[in-house]
Homo-oligomer: A and B are copies of this chain.
Amino acid sequence: MKINKFVMPELIIGSDSIERVGESCARLGARKVFITTDPGVLALNWFEQVLDSCKSAGLPYVIFSDITTNPKDDEVDRGVQIYLEEECDAIVGVGGGSPIDVAKAIAIVATNGGSIHDYEGVDKIVFPLPPQVMVATTAGSGSEVSQFSIITDSEKKKKLTIISKSLVPDIAIVDPQTLMTKSPHLTATTGLDVLTHAIESFVSIAATPLTDVQAKSAISLVAQYLRPSVASKMNKEAKEKMAMASVQAGLAFSNAILGAVHAMSHAIGGRFLLPHGDVNAILLPYVMEFNYLACPEKFYQIAELFGEDGRHSGKKAIEYVKQLSLDIGAPQRLSDMGLQNSDAAIIGQVAIEDACMITNPRDITAADVERLFKLAL
């Protein structure tokens, strides 16, 4: 029996759970909290509740919101400088993947020194990180539970994938009410990101029974609740179920890693600074077609979770994903995002080196990536 490893943060999921940020930090011994977020989140009504909870817990805080989509190394550097100047000793990320990934990156550099580039790859972090409390507000990235941080190298125009158990936050807080402020487009694309996490980790060569239960539950929840969640900001049940799906998919991929969709979308996102969820949404069915050969039985199980019948229905899983994507108005073609045939070669080269490619179930070459890229144009 091969070794199954599994690691996750303490989870607090539910209505008004964002009011627990302050007490969570205090419980971990924090004295002064560094809060990362993005300008969009900062402007939302409920963000005040996060700050109030810190005040109630007697914790001073600093807010750092100078963070973009596909967050960059220089944003991390600025954050580290402020974190150290302000003598913070705990870190809170509030938002989608970007503020949380930046929070983790700041935690690394503030305590381990050097530059964030030094930590690319697996297990490069030496010294313990400060307490980390992450508040996920998109039902997408899964970063609040994962051992990943993805930061863009702004010079080389590529994403640095940083993987370490130290990056699993101490506490992850997920409050479905924060999902009620998302646009239908963001709900659709982050929802398909959840599905991508679940499917890629389910077919990953590093999948275990422990990750499979999480991935399967997430796939089933997305099939039932993503459409209604896109349809209505006020559908509370759908938001709650998508929040749970995001956490479960995050637990699955944190421990089983991902595959070619993410390897390609890191390459594309790093180079062209396109939204991660949009790129994943476009690539997923093409990569599924490619990977089918490696694990038809797993595709059959996915189809079953989608409610498809029949012993040989594995390919129906792919048709289902295509239809879901159309139904919720997700982007369909990379060319609509400005990508061209001439971009294929560099994406092939970069994607094949991504840490997520190692666990893709089917052997894949740069030429295969180029072909998939062109199919998705």
Contacts and interface: CB of A to CB of B under 8 A. Distances in A.
B15 A4 contact: no
Interface of A: 1-8, 10-15, 17, 165, 176, 208-210, 213-214, 217, 236, 240, 244, 247-248
Contacts of A8: 6, 8
A236 B247 CA distance: 33
A220 to B, nearest CB: 10
* A15, A209, A248, most chain B CB atoms within 10 A: A209
A240 B208 CA distance: 12
A247 to B, nearest CB: 8
B10 A4 contact: no
B15 A5 contact: no
A164 to B, nearest CB: 12
Given A1-B240, A17-B3, A248 B11 contact: no
A244 B5 contact: no
A176 B10 CA distance: 26
Contacts of A210: 11, 13, 244, 247-248
A366 B174 CA distance: 39
A11 B1 contact: no
Given A8-B8, A217-B213, A13 B17 contact: no
